[in-house]
A and B are shown apart, each in its own frame.
Chain A
Amino acid sequence: NAGVTQTPKFRVLKTGQSMTLLCAQDMNHEYMYWYRQDPGMGLRLIHYSVGEGTTAKGEVPDGYNVSRLKKQNFLLGLESAAPSQTSVYFCASSPGLTNNSPLHFGNGTRLTVT
């Protein structure tokens, strides 16, 4: 059982370039999340989705877009990368509300923007 799979694992971008991070889950979970992790700041929520075709902004959404066209996939896009977006990005999923359902995390994507 793969769980939550993130691709790619590593990426280096130049300022202004664009890219898409892919998250796929095989647990039929309704909720999916994108977090970024920076030293000393914990995980901060970028965007999330409560079901296929829905998305919502989290704590730090600026500079990112997301799409959830299929229930199992949640894509995170950077249209014009900036050095401030250098971070480790984690995707997570859960079957229901976070008060009852723990998050299942992928192994992360390490992005460097030069």
Chain B
Amino acid sequence: AQSVTQLDSQVPVFEEAPVELRCNYSSSVSVYLFWYVQYPNQGLQLLLKYLSGSTLVKGINGFEAEFNKSQTSFHLRKPSVHISDTAEYFCAVSFLYGNKLVFGAGTILRVKS
């Protein structure tokens, strides 16, 4: 069965520090990978996606993620976070020719000054 695991439920970090939010998936077929961000009292917005090609994907707001097929991971990184990055981040997986997304449980990023 396909599944998505976000390894950290909460990640506290100081402003201007780097951050990595971890995501692992399990699947026996080709996958497409996404990170979504949810700000308080809002819906989810697409941060970045990996469909094919270069394994390093750049998204909005300075975030990037790297697809590692051998480790079945798609970790999200930012070299220097801001207070405004405080939000919940969701990793999601779609499967070849799929019409559904499977979401991880989410990671709350808390940026402190």
Contact = CB atoms under 8 A, between A and B. Distances in A.
Interface of A: 4, 31, 33, 35, 40-45, 48, 50, 58, 90, 92, 97-100, 102-103, 105-108
Count class of interface residues, chain B: 20 to 34
Contact of A4 (B41, B43, B51, B97): B43
Contacts of A4: 43
A105 B101 CA distance: 13
B110 interface: no
B105 A40 contact: yes
Output the residue of A35, A40, A50, A102 with the most chain B CB within 10 A: A102
Contact of B103 (A42, A99, A102, A106): A42
Given A48-B99, A97-B99, A98-B32, A42 B44 contact: no
B49 A102 contact: yes
27 contacts: A4-B43, A40-B9, A40-B105, A40-B106, A42-B90, A42-B104, A43-B44, A43-B90, A44-B103, A45-B100, A48-B100, A90-B44, A97-B98, A97-B99, A98-B32, A98-B98, A99-B32, A99-B51, A99-B98, A100-B32, A102-B46, A103-B36, A105-B44, A105-B45, A107-B42, A107-B43, A108-B43
